[in-house]
Amino acid sequence: MIDRRQSVRADVGRRSPEAPVRTTLSPRKPSGILVAANPGERGKPGTQRGGVRDDRRWRSAAAEGRIIEFVSAATSSQPDRPISELFAEKRPLRSLEFYPPKDEVGVEALRQTAAALRRIGPDFVSITYGAGGSTQARTAQMSALLRDEFAFTVMPHLTAVSHTRAEVAAVAHTHYERGIRNIMALRGDLPNGSPAATAFKDGLHYGSDVVALLKELHPDLCLGVAGYPEKHPEAPSFEADLVNLKRKVDAGASFVTTQLFFDNEAYYRFVERCRAAGIGVPIVPGIMPVLSLKQVTRITSMCGASLPGRLIRRIEAAGDQPEIIEALGVDWALTQIRDLIANGAPGYHLYILNRARSALTLAAGLAA
């Protein structure tokens, strides 16, 4: 029988466990405008000069409850490098996931998190798309902010649920015009209370449909798709789930990012199954540092990931001590990442819940 870890190593070629992870970032030099979501404010120049925004105007808009969209006139048309080219460098990539905040307080918190994380130089960041496209505008706005203010290579999520082909095309075109060349193509979660029979429109039923449409519109887009080491909750079997994943790859996806997991053996088994099914693209493990037992129990119940008994016992032993639980969660994630990289994983994707501390702690631990 093939050693699962050996099969992962074979995917990426020989690499030292100590292969370097990029820790610096060459920022863009934006010279642009601040644009408010209020249509009456669009097009008015801000005082963005030399990459320093006018905080007074930002705070004024925040006080009025408006979502701010930062667009850099100097950089928005400069296309990003496809993430697929980074995988060709045969080094472990580090990426982070943000979600769009609900209000200006959240926007400012996200900015502070992004500023803190800039020092570790992630290879790219993703930003999620709410159920049924509920955060469509905010996803676009925060993608622009993260890209143009913080010089991140951004991979916005884009989903099929509740959208027509024309609507998906319009969102993709907006990203493309801003220079974004990487998109996470997903079926998407159903809005609460929305039956599946009415949630899909215009022939867009699966992630593979989104991939095919985006590649038809812009063949040079690099598309990521989702994979489930412990099976998608709605899939009737592992085999059916892999058939769906292969459809997405065959439609043009360049890589897979997995749902979170806490047992690396689940990832190694998943990679082995994918290779046997003819799925040859990079498969990036998704890792989430635990912050609380309540939090991780809620998330795993939704996505179908399992919690190892040893991890549960550690968290329970910590009792009502959030700092200890967070330290335990980071230590568990650090152990996972070290093992994954040593055994040939092409990198790791951190689900950070818009918080910087755990990602910074992990980066420090991996650099030690």
pLDDT tens over the chain, length 368 residues? 445 555 565 554 334 333 433 433 334 434 332 333 333 333 333 333 233 333 433 333 333 444 434 344 344 458 999 999 999 999 999 999 999 998 889 999 999 999 999 999 999 999 998 655 556 788 889 999 999 999 999 999 998 887 889 999 999 999 999 999 999 999 877 666 565 655 667 677 889 999 999 999 999 999 999 999 999 998 999 999 999 999 999 999 999 999 999 999 999 999 999 999 999 999 999 999 998 888 899 999 888 899 999 999 999 999 889 999 999 999 999 999 999 999 999 999 999 988 999 999 999 999 85
Q: Is residue 49 part of a domain?
A: no
What string of DSSP letters covers 264-308?
Answer: HHHHHHHHHHHHHTT--S-EEEEE-----HHHHHHHHHHH-----
Q: Is residue 309 part of a domain?
A: yes
Q: What whole-number distance in Å separates Cα of residue 212 and Cα of residue 202?
A: 14
Residue 210 CA to its chain's centroid (Å): 17
Q: What whole-number distance in Å separates Cα of residue 189 and Cα of residue 232?
A: 12
Q: Among residues 69, 97, 104, 272, which one is catalytic?
A: 97
Q: What is the CATH number of the domain that holds 10?
A: 3.20.20.220
Q: What whole-number distance in Å separates Cα of residue 224 and Cα of residue 209?
A: 13
Q: Is residue 69 part of a domain?
A: no
Q: Is residue 64 part of a domain?
A: no
Give me 199's structure tokens: 């949630």
Q: Is residue 174 part of a domain?
A: yes
Q: Which residues are 351's β-sheet partners?
A: 97
Domain that holds residue 109: 4-28+75-367
Q: Which residues are 186's β-sheet partners?
A: 159
Question: Residues 77, 45, 78, CA angle at the centre, nearest 5°?
Answer: 10
Q: Is 97 known to be catalytic? A: yes
Residues 6+ apart with CB under 8 A from 38: 64, 66
Centre a 10 Å sphere on the Cβ of residue 113 and count the other Cβ atoms it contains.
20
- Do residues 128 and 158 touch, judged by C-beta distance below 8 A? no
The model's pTM is 0.80
Measured in degrees and rounded to the nearest 5, phi and psi for residue 340 equal -65, -45
Q: How many domains does the chain have?
A: 1
Measured in degrees and rounded to the nearest 5, phi and psi for residue 331 equal -65, -40
Give me 256's structure tokens: 């897979």
Q: Is residue 45 part of a domain?
A: no
